């Protein structure tokens, strides 16, 4: 009897196990267990979005996308009397527009921070404030790499949301694990696949550290990301980009299967529907800059196919409600920052000459330092030409500590560097225009037909003489008619990569860094304005940030002059 009972007991246990196994198999086959056993997205995804259902499921409904690209650290008060903050109002508006609903995703299209505030606090105030505002996914912008990869890593690893970029890799394993190709997020049951793309021009905009790997073939990478997202069961696919209009249009044309591109970088407000090679359509939406507006894109979906979209734009104003929690977090950072501006970031062992009477008539140590810093820090540059009017202060700055307040005095304008492909003869003409800023009695050119004093150029990478007794460049600006080509520039030499000094070749092409002001024809440089856009590239590197980085990195500095500009009166 005892033996029979034992056999019966063992058979009962086996039968029970078989029944449990069958039940579990049935649950898994229907996908019911996904909410119980579901983990994080895998493969090339960020690992940050929830895995949601099987690839065979489909979705019908409406989801909402929020976006405010290119904040550039504009998160403080909107005026001197503002008791709130821009980021606080962004957060409050996001709440009003449904950010907390499970059918809404908030996407950030790059350039979270910029400038000295971003540099001082390593982007932590910006990334934390945007985390509080409810951002769900972000792509890095070019300004993420203005200072160092290490600074980018500090804020990227503190983000509460995934950061995606399919055409960037990093040699650092922590950062490479932080920035993934794509993620899949749940929006009210819809599986939303999001991959990131940063402009393939990144290496021209900023000098990347060696630990950053940029892939330029964005069409190939985009197609691969779309394929992977579809295999992972995404109902719709969004490209979150930080690149110019033409680059986004090419991406949409070259990569079928993208339902929506949320973009940034060009600071423009626009949207356009683009047809890919297979006849499918992609809506592209760019939403301006600096948190000046927030856009919503409502996407109607039937059986995982986008059937309609609706865009609304909302201006951010000081009269709008403010999220007090976000503002309370951000405000102390700005109070400390204001106090810190007078603190030294570097040291000069010699006085710096930024007097108008010297800076606008010849070579000075400050002019050489600025031009050399530009040539050394803007990628791929052979020569730098900096209009003296972009350097202010009009005094001798004593030797000693250099602070951000000092640099704000020297560079009060948001001067951006532009690279231009120029021939030797075009450079010669530009220097003749510069030399016309030196007025000699009886030289025959009226004051309104020559470069103003601020148009005199400080230079790097070239050497030359200015013979003021030679004919001055002279032009009728009303008709853009050159009256005299000028004969003041002599012995024009160029410094090679090896440091040799050789005569400039008039037919050769050189990469020249200039300010955005003279690139647009300012200070009488209409010849630069007429250079075709395809030969120009706006780097987005600001003069003040470039010089600040150079001072901080290489202090103490001891700028001098070397005779690169010799004026013969």
Higher confidence at residue 194 or residue 43?
194
CB–CB of 473/433 below 8 Å? Answer: yes
Q: Is residue 9 part of a domain?
A: no
Q: Which of 5-14, 280-289, 421-430 has the lowest mean pLDDT?
A: 5-14
pLDDT grade for 286, boundaries at 50, 70 and 90: very high
Residues 297 and 402 in one domain: no
440 by DSSP, 3-state: which?
A: coil
| Mean pLDDT score, 369-394 | 95
Sign of the CA dihedral running 93, 96, 99, 104 = negative
Nearest C-alpha neighbor of 514 from the set 438, 431, 448: 431
Q: Of 485, 495, 398, 408, nearest to 445 (Cα)? A: 485
In a domain, 18, yes or no: no
- Give the integer Cα–Cα distance in Å for 204 and 83: 39
**63 and 128 in one domain?**
yes
Average pLDDT over residues 188-195: 95
Whether residues 463 and 318 share a domain: the answer is no
Note the pLDDT of residue 116.
82
- My answer on whether 200 and 281 are in the same domain is yes
Measured CA to CA, the distance from residue 299 to residue 81 in angstroms comes to 39
pTM of the predicted protein model: 0.75
Of 209, 206, 201, 205, the closest CA to residue 175 belongs to: 209
pLDDT of residue 569: 85
**Residue 377 tokens, joined:** 């820090």
Q: Which of 316, 338, 360 is the last residue of a domain?
A: 338
Q: Which pLDDT score, from 0 to 100, does residue 41 have?
A: 36
- The whole-number pLDDT of residue 57 equals 61
Residue 249 lies in a domain: yes
pLDDT digits (tens, 9 = 90+) for 446-475: 988 999 999 999 999 999 999 999 999 999
Res 408 pLDDT > 70: yes
209 and 354 share a domain?
A: no
Q: Which domain holds residue 114?
A: 38-338
Same domain, 400 and 298: no
Low-confidence winner among 25-29, 365-369, 445-449 (lowest mean pLDDT): 25-29
CATH number at residue 161: 3.60.21.10
Banded model confidence at residue 554, pLDDT cuts 50, 70, 90: very high
Does 368 share its domain with 281? no
Query: What is the structure's pLDDT at 339?
Result: 86
Count of domains for the chain: 2
Same domain, 310 and 347: no
Find tokens 């103003």 and name the residue: 452
Residue 444 lies in a domain: yes
Per the prediction, the chain carries an average pLDDT of: 88
Domain boundary among 338, 369, 402: 338
Instruction: Give the up-direction half-sphere exposure of residue 329: CA atoms within 13 A in the CB hemisphere.
Output: 19
Q: Are residues 266 and 212 part of one domain?
A: yes
Choose the final residue of a domain: 291, 313, 338: 338
Could you tell me if residue 30 is inside a domain? no
Per the DSSP assignment, residues forming a β-bridge with 313 are 295
Q: Is residue 8 one of the residues assigned to a domain?
A: no
Is residue 109 domain-shared with residue 239, that is, in the same domain? yes
155 and 284, same domain (yes or no): yes
The DSSP code for 3 is H
Q: Where are the alpha helices (DSSP H) in 199-352?
A: 202-205, 218-231, 245-254, 324-340
Instruction: Say if 13 falls within a structural domain.
Output: no
Strand 344-348 and strand 400-403: the pairing is: antiparallel
* The pLDDT value given to residue 236: 94
The answer to whether 174 and 159 are in contact (CB under 8 A) is no
Domain assignment present for residue 467? The answer is yes
Residues 308 and 443 reside in one and the same domain: no
**Mean per-residue pLDDT, 195-223:** 91
The CATH number given to whatever domain includes residue 530 is 3.90.780.10
* Higher per-residue pLDDT: 260 or 201: 260
């Amino acid at each position: 009897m005892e033996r029979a009972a034992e056999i019966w007991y063992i058979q009962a246990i086996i039968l029970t196990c078989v029944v449990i196994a069958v039940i579990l198999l049935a649950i898994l086959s229907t996908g019911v267990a996904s909410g119980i056993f579901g983990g994080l997205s895998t493969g090339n995804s960020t690992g940050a979005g929830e895995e949601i259902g099987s690839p065979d499921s489909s979705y019908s409904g409406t989801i909402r996308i929020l976006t405010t690209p290119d904040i550039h650290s504009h998160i403080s008060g909107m005026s001197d009397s503002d008791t709130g903050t821009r980021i606080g109002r962004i957060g409050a508006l996001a709440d009003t527009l449904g950010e907390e609903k499970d059918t809404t995703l908030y996407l950030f299209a790059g350039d979270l921070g910029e400038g000295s505030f971003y540099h001082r606090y390593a982007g932590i105030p910006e990334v934390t404030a945007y985390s509080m505002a409810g951002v769900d996914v972000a792509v890095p912008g070019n300004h993420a790499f203005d200072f160092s990869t290490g600074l980018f890593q500090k804020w990227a690893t503190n983000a509460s949301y995934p950061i995606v970029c399919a055409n960037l890799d990093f040699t650092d394993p922590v950062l490479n694990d932080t920035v993934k190709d794509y993620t899949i997020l749940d929006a009210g049951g819809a599986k939303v696949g999001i991959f990131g793309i940063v402009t393939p021009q990144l290496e021209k905009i900023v000098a990347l550290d060696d630990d950053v790997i940029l892939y330029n073939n964005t069409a190939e990478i985009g197609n691969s990301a779309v394929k992977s997202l579809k295999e992972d069961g995404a109902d719709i696919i969004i490209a979150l980009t930080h690149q110019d209009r033409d680059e986004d249009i090419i991406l949409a044309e070259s990569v079928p299967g993208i339902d929506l591109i949320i973009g940034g970088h060009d600071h423009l407000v626009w949207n356009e529907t683009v047809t890919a090679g297979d006849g499918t359509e992609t809506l592209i939406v760019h939403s301006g800059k600096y948190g000046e507006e927030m856009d919503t894109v409502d996407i109607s979906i039937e059986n995982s196919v986008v059937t309609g979209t609706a865009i609304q734009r909302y201006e951010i104003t000081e009269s709008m409600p403010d999220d007090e929690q976000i503002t309370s977090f951000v405000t102390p950072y700005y109070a400390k920052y204001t106090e810190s501006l007078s603190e030294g970031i570097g040291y000069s062992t010699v006085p710096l000459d930024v007097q108008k009477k010297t800076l606008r008539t010849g070579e000075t140590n400050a002019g050489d330092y600025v031009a050399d810093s530009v040539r050394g820090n803007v990628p791929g540059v052979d020569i730098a030409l900096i209009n003296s009017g972009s350097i202010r202060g009009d005094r001798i700055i004593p030797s000693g500590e250099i602070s951000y307040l000092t640099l704000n005095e020297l560079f009060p304008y948001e001067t951006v560097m532009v690279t231009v492909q120029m021939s030797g003869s075009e450079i010669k003409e530009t220097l003749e225009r510069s030399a016309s800023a030196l007025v000699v009695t009886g030289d025959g050119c009226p004051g309104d037909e020559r470069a103003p004093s601020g148009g005199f150029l400080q230079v790097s990478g070239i050497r030359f003489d200015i013979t003021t007794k030679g004919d001055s460049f002279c032009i009728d600006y009303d008709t853009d008619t050159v009256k005299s080509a000028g004969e003041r520039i002599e012995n024009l030499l160029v410094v090679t990569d090896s440091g040799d000094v050789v005569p400039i070749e008039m037919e050769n092409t050189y990469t020249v860094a200039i300010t955005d002001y003279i690139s647009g024809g300012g200070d009488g440089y209409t010849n630069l304005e007429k250079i075709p856009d395809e030969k120009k590239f706006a780097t987005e590197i600001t003069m003040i940030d470039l010089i600040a980085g150079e001072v901080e990195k290489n202090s103490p500095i001891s700028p001098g002059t070397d005779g690169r500009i010799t004026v013969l009166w």
